[in-house]
Amino acid sequence: MSIVLYNTKTKKKDAFVPLIPGQVSMYVCGVTVYDDCHLGHARSALTFDMIRRYFEFAGYQVKYVRNFTDIDDKILNRAKQEDVPWHEISERYIQNFYRDMGALGITKPSAEPRATEHMQDILHMVESLVHKGMAYHLEGDVYFSVKKFTPYGQLSGKNLEELQAGARIEVDTRKQDPMDFALWKTAKPGEPGWDSPWGKGRPGWHIECSAMSVAELGPTFDIHGGGKDLIFPHHENEIAQSCAYTGKEFARYWVHNGFVTVDKEKMSKSLGNFFTIREIFDKSPVSDSEAITGECLRYYLLSTHYRSDLNFSEQSLPEAKSAMDSIYGIIQRLEESDPQGITEGDDEWERVSKEFVNKFQESMDDDFNTPKVLGAFHKLRGEVNKLLVKGLSKETKGNVLESLKKYGQLLGLFQIPSKKWNFTGILPEIRISASSTVTARIEVLGPKDEWIQKQISLRNEARAKKDFSIADNIRKELAEQGIILEDRTDGTTRWKR
> Could you tell me the residue ranges of all domains in the chain?
4-257, 265-443, 449-496
> How remote is the C-alpha of 238 from its chain's centroid?
23
Phi, psi of 65 (to 5 degrees): -115, 130
> What architecture does CATH give domain 4-257?
3-Layer(aba) Sandwich (3.40)
pLDDT exceeds 90 at position 170: no
Phi, psi of 222 (to 5 degrees): -75, -60
pTM for the whole thing?
0.84
Residue 91, sorted as left (phi over 0), alpha (psi -120 to 50) or beta, turns out to be alpha
- pLDDT reported for residue 419: 86
pLDDT exceeds 50 at position 84: yes
- pLDDT reported for residue 284: 61
Q: Which range has the worst mean pLDDT, 7-11, 48-52, 440-444?
A: 440-444
pLDDT exceeds 80 at position 172: no
Angle between helices 39-57 and 86-103 (to 10 degrees): 60
> What architecture does CATH give domain 265-443?
Orthogonal Bundle (1.10)
316-364 pLDDT, tens digit each: 888 899 899 999 999 999 988 766 677 888 999 999 999 999 999 999 9
pLDDT exceeds 60 at position 220: yes
pLDDT exceeds 60 at position 267: yes
366-419 pLDDT, tens digit each: 999 999 999 999 999 999 999 998 899 999 999 999 999 999 999 999 999 988
Q: CB pairs under 8 A, 24+ apart, for 361-366?
A: 361/1, 362/1, 364/3, 364/54, 364/410, 365/1, 365/2, 365/3, 365/4, 366/4, 366/13
Chain mean pLDDT for the chain: 88
pLDDT exceeds 70 at position 100: yes
pLDDT exceeds 80 at position 482: no
- pLDDT reported for residue 445: 40
417-471 pLDDT, tens digit each: 988 888 865 555 555 543 333 333 333 345 667 678 878 888 888 788 777 777 7
Give 264's pLDDT tier (boundaries 50, 70, 90): low
Residues 3 and 52: their CA atoms lie apart, in Å, by 13
284-314 pLDDT, tens digit each: 654 445 788 899 999 999 999 999 999 887 7
20-30 pLDDT, tens digit each: 999 999 999 99
Q: Which is higher by pLDDT, 172 or 280?
A: 280
Which of 23, 54, 104 has the alpha carbon at shortest distance from 297?
104
- pLDDT reported for residue 425: 59
- pLDDT reported for residue 457: 83
C-alpha gyration radius of the chain? 27
Residue 59, sorted as left (phi over 0), alpha (psi -120 to 50) or beta, turns out to be left
Q: What percent of the chain has pLDDT over 90?
A: 66
